[in-house]
């Protein structure tokens, strides 16, 4: 039976300790950002009593938050 030296065995992939938190926060920021865009543009009227509905400034805030979330997810995938 042939012996295999330790140097020839493939190393398991290293997973960054920040990958899961970055992905989680990125997805959360993206989801909230998309909700804010929908509310700010008036496409999403939930909840009915929200002060953000049809307020375009919240669509811009949502776009920024969604972009931040995408950036976090991109960092997690690197």
Instruction: Dig out the tokens for 78 from the structure.
Output: 């690197």
Q: From CA 9, how far away is CA 24, in angstroms rounded?
A: 32
pTM of the model: 0.77
Residue range 1-35, pLDDT digits in tens: 566 555 566 766 666 788 999 999 999 999 999 99
pLDDT value at position 57?
A: 98
For 78, residues 6+ apart whose C-beta sits below 8 A from its C-beta are none
> How high is the pLDDT of residue 9?
63
Q: What is the mean pLDDT of residues 51-71?
A: 97
Mean pLDDT for the stretch of residues 59-75: 97
Residue-level pLDDT at 74: 95
């Amino acid at each position: 039976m042939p012996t295999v030296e330790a140097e020839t065995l493939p190393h398991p992939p290293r997973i960054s300790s920040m990958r899961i938190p970055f992905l989680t926060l990125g997805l959360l920021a993206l989801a909230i950002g998309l909700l804010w865009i929908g509310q700010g543009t008036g496409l999403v009227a939930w909840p009915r009593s929200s002060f953000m509905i049809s307020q375009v400034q919240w669509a811009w805030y949502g776009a920024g938050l969604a972009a931040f979330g995408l950036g976090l997810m991109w960092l997690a995938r690197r």
